[in-house]
A and B are shown apart, each in its own frame.
Chain A
Amino acid sequence: MDIETLYEHAPCGFLSTTSDGTIVRVNQTLCDRTGYTADDLVGKRRFADLLTGGGRIYHETHYAPMLELEGRVREIALDIVAADGRRLPALVNSVLERGHGGRTAMVHTAIFDATERRLYEQELLRSKQRAEESEAHAQLLSRTLQRTLIPPAAPDVPGLDVAAAYRPAGSGNEIGGDFYDIFEIAEDDWIVAVGDVCGKGIDAAVITGAARYAIRGAAVREPAPSAVLSTLNQVLLHHDSDRFCTVALVRMRRGPNGWVASIALAGHPAPILCRPDGPPRAVGRLGIVAGINADARFHEVDVALRPGEELVVFTDGVTEGRRGREFFGEARLIATLGRGAPSAQGLVDRTLSTVMDFQYEVPRDDIVVVVLRAPERVSP
């Protein structure tokens, strides 16, 4: 077999052009595929003329510069337009032949039929697009679900200034484990629960839901915070999962002498009491995490919340906020809270922004902050 036959009938199309793209030679395979004769093409058309409009843009903006600078181009997907207008999906390789002085003399191009491959690639692209849509949908679902795990807004508690903030970890696309709830069990008698379920994602969401309802149900039957935590402990122990959670449970009651907070803790950071006459301090007795030990006991500590004082309940996303190896820590929190604030919302906003700034706005863990403030002048 001679070289000429091999060139003309090679299993791919060949064409050669001058430096300005004018076709100077084509093989028979390419003519057969496109329906052109060599006479139609040689000296009359440029390679780019055989491409679609979009392909020509790609040729000018990518193909030609790459060829010039790299000396060759490989595996570029382009459609060749046949004599009858049909589009022939192709994979195109070119090499550049340089003449004297390094200037482009000729460009040699091989054109491979890629019809089957292109169909497969289109299928791949569609799968990728479907996966991206599915991802977006999953994110929407988890944000929506997340919203059901916390109250839409802190409720209006007569005679008490209440504000709360929730900030999910990272970009906020994953369901976190932090939650809070504020509800009334009798007139001037409220329960505030702030908790943190271990883990993230859908399992954490299931436990968060179960914990919230266990707390609500238990508080109506036996409102002592230690009793509510005991019930929660039993519910989690019998729940079909090995998850556990930490909770700070605060019962707020208003009597003739003002508000009294009863605080019980299940493995949760102690709330901080801010009083004008001294530095803020943690209040509560640490109890064991709920959902681990059937014999766990929980204890209450009562403190009066006098006009102008605040009780700050939070999750460890605040104190364990990290910048490199450094933690935000309780000392920074106390310093932040110690500067006082005109309202519960003001104190929540400042605490959240200080913690967020510390972590360069990308929290590694969920953050919940609830502030309960007894106003200076108690409304009747």
Chain B
Amino acid sequence: MQVVQRHNVRVSGPPHGQPIVFAHGFGCDQNMWRYVAHRFEDRFRVVLFDHIGAGASDLDSYDDRHASLAGYSQDVLSICRDLDLREIVFVGHSVSAMVGVLAAIAEPERFDKLVLVGPSARYIDDDGYTGGFSEADIDEMLDSLESNYLGWSSSMAPAIMGNPDRPELGEELTTSFCRTDPAIARQFAEVTFRSDNRSDLARVSTPTLVLQCSSDAIAPQEVGRFVADAIDNADFVLLDATGHCPNLSAPDATYDAIAAFVDA
């Protein structure tokens, strides 16, 4: 199977425009960028994809390499190589911020700019470091995942509801968004929330923007600050937004901040 099919890659915008790659985080799929990505289509070659295990990706391609974030960054680099992308603007939400960091360390010549939305280099508290979570929180979250995927494999068709106010929400979306094989969801959660990329940050040479929500339960402000401080050439922008997904809850502010950075 081709890389493009494996990752359900969607490309839009001018073919010779500078590429901007949007990567979704743990939990959902490329639809996380639904309110933001298309606004770059007038001048950028916009690339969206699903991580293996998420959305409409090929679940059979999930393997041992996905036991670490480095494996996910290898996937990103495969997509970039396959589409022959250069001077990439990489926009990574949540855990994909660190996936982008690892990819940019591995092949710095390929990346022009990094945008890290709600990044965290480590979620679990450590000596002298506040990540925001304890080991017990992570265990609890894994249990919560299990009880919420109870009926997944027995082909429970998710309810497809009418949504007259937001017609952009297609039927195919409601069947895949936030739903995947529970075993994969659990492993991705483990990889995400037990990773520690603090020591990688100093190795980033790509100009970086950290986009931080003012009130984020997953990646609190000090966590985003830590990332911005540890990367040599990083700007820090605080968005007036609640929650971990400004790409959904504050799409205008998110777009404006990214555009100001990448159009500069």
Write the residues of chain A forming the contact surface with B, with a CB cutoff of 8 angstroms.
19-21, 48, 52-62, 64-66, 68-72, 74, 76-79, 98, 102, 104, 118, 121-122, 124-125
Nearest A residue (CB) for B25: A61
Nearest B residue (CB) for A54: B140
Cβ-closest 4 pairs across A and B: A54-B140, A53-B137, A61-B27, A54-B141
B259 located at the interface, meaning its Cβ lies under 8 Å from any Cβ of chain A in the complex: no
A243 to chain B, nearest CB (A): 35
Expressed in whole angstroms, the Cα–Cα distance for A124 and B149 within the complex equals 12
B98 to chain A, nearest CB (A): 15
Write the residues of chain B forming the contact surface with A, with a CB cutoff of 8 angstroms.
25-28, 31-32, 34, 94, 133-134, 136-148, 150, 159, 161, 163, 165-166, 169, 173-174, 177-178, 193, 215-218, 242-245, 248-249
- In the complex, the answer to whether A66 meets B169 with C-beta atoms within 8 Å is no
- In the complex, the answer to whether B242 meets A61 with C-beta atoms within 8 Å is no
A65-B245 contact, Cβ under 8 Å, with A60-B217, A124-B150? yes
- In the complex, the answer to whether A55 meets B245 with C-beta atoms within 8 Å is no
Expressed in whole angstroms, the Cα–Cα distance for A340 and B188 within the complex equals 50
11 more CB-based (< 8 A) A-B contacts, given A53-B137, A69-B169, A70-B177: A56-B217, A61-B244, A62-B27, A64-B245, A65-B178, A65-B245, A66-B178, A68-B248, A102-B166, A118-B147, A124-B150
- In the complex, the answer to whether B248 meets A57 with C-beta atoms within 8 Å is no
A60-B137 contact, Cβ under 8 Å, with A70-B163, A77-B144, A78-B144? no
By a CB distance below 8 angstroms, the chain A residues around B25 are 61
By a CB distance below 8 angstroms, the chain B residues around A66 are 28, 177-178
- In the complex, the answer to whether B165 meets A53 with C-beta atoms within 8 Å is no
Expressed in whole angstroms, the Cα–Cα distance for A66 and B133 within the complex equals 23
Expressed in whole angstroms, the Cα–Cα distance for A152 and B159 within the complex equals 55
By a CB distance below 8 angstroms, the chain B residues around A54 are 137-144
Nearest B residue (CB) for A60: B244
- In the complex, the answer to whether A53 meets B141 with C-beta atoms within 8 Å is yes
By a CB distance below 8 angstroms, the chain A residues around B139 are 54
A130 to chain B, nearest CB (A): 15
By a CB distance below 8 angstroms, the chain B residues around A60 are 216-218, 243-245
By a CB distance below 8 angstroms, the chain B residues around A65 are 27-28, 32, 177-178, 245, 248
